[in-house]
Amino acid sequence: MSHALIVIDLQNDFCPGGALAVPGGDEIVAGINARMADARAVVLTQDWHPAGHSSFASQHDGRAPLETIEMPYGAQVLWPDHCVQGSIGAAFHPDLQIDRAELILRKGFRAGIDSYSAFFENDQRTPTGLEGYLRTRGITSLDFVGLALDFCVAWSARDAARLGIEARVLTDLCRGIDHEGSVAQALADMRAAGVTLD
Ligand code: VGL
Ligand code: ZN
């Protein structure tokens, strides 16, 4: 059985000063670097939206960030413009030791659909390819860290568990957005899905 550390969306826009800042998002960088140094394999994910992405509130007349709308694939929270491809905001936090990464997986690059999870886009059907990568490398167990705990970390960890991959979330090395109780909800959903919370 092989194991990997997966670092979710540790990007400038999710850190203080960024477009969709997660409180304390930058506080976890040093701890994640230390974990990466000891990890057997490291995967990074990178939120990577085209300008004008359909998850941006700016694309919906009369809508504001954090409102929820119905998309063809289900409910979608609207966000400020963030992690636009090639922008500084989409770059990894400058202190993150990205050289340790063996794979950088980009997600959210289709204009019409968001992708919180590293495994499936928000229709919960369209694969990103990560499952195949892990399976062909024999990686059957994952530790999750990064941002945001209640969105991309939670959706990724739940999908991993659903796929039969052992999933553990190191909660001290995550930070959440916490919109309308979303952190408590995400923790409960992950537990129910069989994710280990450490
Ligand atoms: C994320 C909202 C929008 C995340 C990404 O990384 O948790 N949240 N895009
Ligand atoms: Zn996004």
Separation between Cα atoms, residue 169 and residue 187, nearest integer Å: 10
And the tokens for 156? 């990724």
Q: Is 47 near ligand 1, meaning CB less than 6 Å away?
A: yes
pLDDT digit string, tens, across residues 136-185: 999 999 999 999 999 999 999 999 999 999 999 999 999 999 999 999 99
Separation between Cα atoms, residue 13 and residue 85, nearest integer Å: 12
Q: Is 155 near ligand 1, meaning CB less than 6 Å away?
A: no
Which residues are paired to 15 by β-bridges?
A: none
Q: What is the pLDDT of residue 83?
A: 99
What's the full length of the chain, in residues? 198
Model-wide pTM > 0.85: yes
Distance 78 CA to ligand 2 centre (A): 9
pLDDT digit string, tens, across residues 19-71: 999 999 999 999 999 999 999 999 999 999 999 999 999 999 999 999 999 99
Residues belonging to the active site: 9, 107, 152
3-state secondary structure of 171: strand
Which residues are paired to 105 by β-bridges?
A: 45
3-state secondary structure of 149: helix
And the tokens for 142? 């994952």
